Amino acid sequence: MATADRTFDLAVVGAGPGGYVAAIRAAQLGMRVAIVERDKLGGVCLNTGCIPTKALLQHAELLHTLKRAEEFGFSFDNFRADFGKAIQRSRRAADRLSKGVEFLMKKHKVPVFAGEGRLAGKGTVEVTGADGKMEGLTAARVLLATGSRPKLIPGVDVDGKRVLTSTEALILEEAPASLVIIGAGAVGVEFADIYAAYGTAVTLVEMLPTILPLEDAEISAVLHRVFEKRGIAIRTKTAVDEVAVGADGVEVGVLQEGKRERLQADAILVAIGRSPNSKVEGLDPLGVEVDRGFITVDDAMQTTAEGIYAIGDVTGQPLLAHAAMHEGIVAVERMAGLPARMDRDKVPSCTYCHPQVASIGLTEAKAQAAGRKVKVGKFPFIASGKAQAMGETEGLVKLLADAETGEIVGVHIVGAGATELIAEAGLAMALEATPEEIAATIHSHPTLSEAVGEAALAALGRAIHI
């Protein structure tokens, strides 16, 4: 490759959702841009994260519904759900999308350099391929989008059989008979849903008082109740203090409010969070500040070193693909002198279990802790005509509005369709809409989205259907 072909306006390190979106936006803005990726295009999200998980959750949802087949008037004999085929379908979805990213890179004429990237000085990225060969790129600007990886329990090795992280849980050949999931954040909860649907006896262990501890407590409580009803064992306020991996299974020592116990399972899934991939070689000499593992950035996503930007998981909360994508766009637009700004307070968050959970903004507890006086409007799906027609009546929409200004402070949803319903709340918060404006918007009948309108009305003291 000629030197000219290795000289760019921008080199993006990491082709996850943040990185590849940034590369596309950069190309749209006329930059010469290259992308470096050591694994598959699409990164964790697309290959070993969101996408295959959501594919498996689609199976889980169908299985939940089929358990109520009689209610729907369906009958059949010898029902079998092949877990391996679910994994295969999820792989096909991931592969199709990874090919899609490849197509997008070609379309936008973004060369892909396969290998591990390191910073070899200001404006120089060295890429070491799997074969050990090294290639050097020069770029006026570098964007680090190196992502994150599952956090591990020190001393407990991931073997893909007894000890899993989300990565291995996505490619098991069959569902284990029993599984202890350590950590009840989005990842833990989604895998609890998937494996329980395939007959695994799941125990969900969480150190904090509620599952999905980042969500509003009232929302988590609904999911907790539904999960327990479905046979998922949940232990909150429970710390894991020992993991003993044997030939036949795993023993997990837990401490629950002073009570010590040992849980047995065929396997454990470690879902205690994610660690940033911030050990990019060469960061330090260039003056890129890293705080507790996360790269420090400003609202243009620039690091403390001029010309070096960072986006996505490697820069810290929220560790969400759509945040990374947006940050990628913001970073590149700012490089191009356009006005753009990342507002991490307005990032929706979704968990695709059943019932689904989605939220944006502050929880009621966080609003109170921040000293904000809020009006709370709630609408339960049991009062929704569409939810009744679907036979999916669990859950509620909870909307918090500032008692003085009317500003929407947060929207929290648990129930069917939550992850799509949050889009309206996202637009409302982005546009600083008031509950009055949501309430005055005509929502189609019968849809689940009416519940968002009714929650807004409820916050104003005038819900119609409760």
Of the candidates 237, 189, 192, the one whose C-alpha atom is nearest the C-alpha of residue 357 is 189
* Alpha carbons 462 and 182: distance in angstroms, whole number: 43
CA distance 451 to 237: 32
Nearer to a copy of itself, 235 or 412 (CB): 412
Check binding of 64 to a copy of itself (CB under 8 A).
no
Nearer to a copy of itself, 39 or 242 (CB): 39
Based on the shown chain and the rule CB under 8 A, indicate whether residue 395 belongs to the binding site for a copy of itself. no
- 102 lines the binding site for a copy of itself (CB under 8 A): no
In the bound state with a copy of itself, the residue whose beta carbon lies nearer, of 10 and 55, is 55
Q: Which is nearer to a copy of itself, 304 or 447 (CB)?
A: 447
Residue with the two structure tokens 């954040």: 185
Q: CB neighbours of 105 closer than 8 A, spacing ≥ 6? A: 15, 20, 23, 35, 41, 111, 112
Sites for a copy of itself among residues 345-384 (CB under 8 A): 346-350, 358, 383
d(CA 189, CA 50): 13
Q: Does 40 bind a copy of itself (CB under 8 A)?
A: no
Tokens for 332, please give them: 């590149």
From the list 186-194, 276-284, 297-305, 442-450, the region that binds a copy of itself by CB under 8 A is: 442-450
Q: Which of 417, 435, 458, 459 binds a copy of itself (CB under 8 A)?
A: 417
CB-wise, 180 or 320, nearer to a copy of itself? 320
Tell me, yes or no, if 445 is annotated catalytic.
yes
Per CB under 8 A, the list member of 73, 132, 155, 258 interacting with a copy of itself is 73
From 47, 146, 148, 419, residue interacting with a copy of itself (rule: CB under 8 A): 419
From the candidates 354, 412, 445, 465, give the one annotated as an active-site residue. Answer: 445
- Residue from 67, 96, 225, 373 in contact with a copy of itself (CB under 8 A): 96
Q: How far is Cα of residue 126 from the mean position of the Cα atoms in its chain?
A: 30
User: Least separation, in Å, of the C-beta of 143 and a copy of itself?
Assistant: 15
| CA 389 to each of CA 385, 414, 418, 449: distance values in angstroms, whole numbers, following the listed order | 6, 18, 17, 14
> Judged by CB under 8 A, does residue 67 bind a copy of itself?
no
How many chain residues bind a copy of itself (CB under 8 A)? 92
- Is residue 46 close enough to count as binding a copy of itself by CB under 8 A? yes
Tokens coding 182 = 């350590």
Half-sphere exposure of 453 (CA within 13 A, CB side): 16
Q: Which amino acid is it at 75? A: S
CB of 336 to a copy of itself, least distance (A): 12
Alpha helices in 336-372 (DSSP H): 364-369
- Which residues ranging from 231 to 250 are in contact with a copy of itself (CB under 8 A)? none
Element (H, E) at 256: strand 250-256
Q: Does 133 bind a copy of itself (CB under 8 A)?
A: no
**DSSP three-state, residue 178:** strand
Buried b (16+ CB within 10 A) or exposed e, 170-203: bebeebbebbbbbbbbbbbbbbbbbbbbbebbbb
Q: Pick out residues in 312-331 that bind a copy of itself (CB under 8 A).
A: 320-323, 325-326, 329
* Selected binder of a copy of itself within 93, 208, 255, 336 (CB under 8 A): 93
Instruction: Work out whether 256 is an interface residue with a copy of itself (CB under 8 A).
Output: no
The amino acid present at 376, given as its one-letter code, is: V
Q: Which residues are catalytic?
A: 445
